[in-house]
Amino acid sequence: MKHLGAVLLFTGGLLLSACGLSSLPEISIADSQHEAAAPSGTDASADIRNENSSNTASSETESDFPDLVSFTASTIDGSSFSPEDFAAADVTAINIWSTTCGPCVREMPELAEYAKTLPENLRIITWCLDANISATCSEIEKYLNECGFTGITLASGDGDLQKLYEQLMYTPTTVFVDANGNQVGEPLIGAGNISERYSAQFEAALHQLGIESTLKSE
């Protein structure tokens, strides 16, 4: 019974900070900002496909997410993005979100502010999963600008990006890759303290790569 209680407690916390990934119904960003993550079973955006996940306040301890070394992608401004573009930084964090996910939308201003504090060898990009199917697609870039996020936002992708999408369970999910697109550190599942969680994973990724940390101490 103690184990069951712990599972129920964890699941409840997860639903408050992440959205289960299933289909992506069309919804406005404005609606998402006022929408809490719905419990499993209430609608398509909250359909949890797999319960094998870690606590959202920490990193996922195990992941089979693929390395992102072979794909083509487009961005919301119509540009292209490829694995070669990861060479612009030692470590790139990819925040994967959608306009249907309340926690994703609510954390974006904090994410944008944190991104501005990073040194040149670290960066954050985002991937909006419903950028090409949402009825409010034209509002996404406007919303990101209002949040102050000036980085790259992917709109679609194939190859390894498609493989990654097929393995996602929740949004937001953030993965970290090196300059060659290889996974480093551990992914972050769900929303939480941006500065604390991202800094810890950037530090871990740099240590794994044998690169001295360039993050400023708080």
Q: Is the pLDDT of residue 7 over 80?
A: no
Spatial CA neighbour of 204 closest among 181, 180, 182, 187: 187
Question: How far is residue 144's CA from residue 203's CA, in Å, rounded to a whole number?
Answer: 26
Q: What is the pLDDT of residue 100?
A: 86
Q: What is the pLDDT of residue 216?
A: 75
Look up residue 63 and give its DSSP letter.
-
Q: Is the pLDDT of residue 74 over 50?
A: yes
12-30 mean pLDDT: 50
> pLDDT digits over 85-105, tens only?
999 999 999 999 998 899 999
Q: Which has the minimum average pLDDT: 96-105, 126-135, 201-210?
A: 126-135
Q: Is the pLDDT of residue 24 over 90?
A: no
Q: How confident is the model at residue 218 (pLDDT cuts 50, 70, 90)?
A: low
Q: Is the pLDDT of residue 17 over 70?
A: no
Q: How confident is the model at residue 18 (pLDDT cuts 50, 70, 90)?
A: low
Q: What is the pLDDT of residue 128?
A: 95
Q: What is the pLDDT of residue 50?
A: 32
Q: Is the pLDDT of residue 210 over 50?
A: yes
Q: Which has the minimum average pLDDT: 14-23, 25-34, 121-130, 148-157?
A: 25-34
Q: What is the pLDDT of residue 139?
A: 82
Q: What is the pLDDT of residue 135?
A: 57
141-147 mean pLDDT: 92
Q: How confident is the model at residue 214 (pLDDT cuts 50, 70, 90)?
A: confident
**What are the residues whose beta carbons fall under 8 Å from the beta carbon of 19, sequence distance 6 or more?**
37, 38, 45, 46, 98, 100, 101, 102, 103, 104, 170, 171
Q: Is the pLDDT of residue 169 over 50?
A: yes
Give the pair of three-digit tokens for residue 121.
Answer: 């060898």
Arithmetic mean of pLDDT over the chain: 78
Q: Is the pLDDT of residue 68 over 90?
A: yes
Domain at 2-209, CATH homologous superfamily: Glutaredoxin (3.40.30.10)
- Higher pLDDT, residue 56 or 72: 72
Give the pair of three-digit tokens for residue 94.
Answer: 């990819």
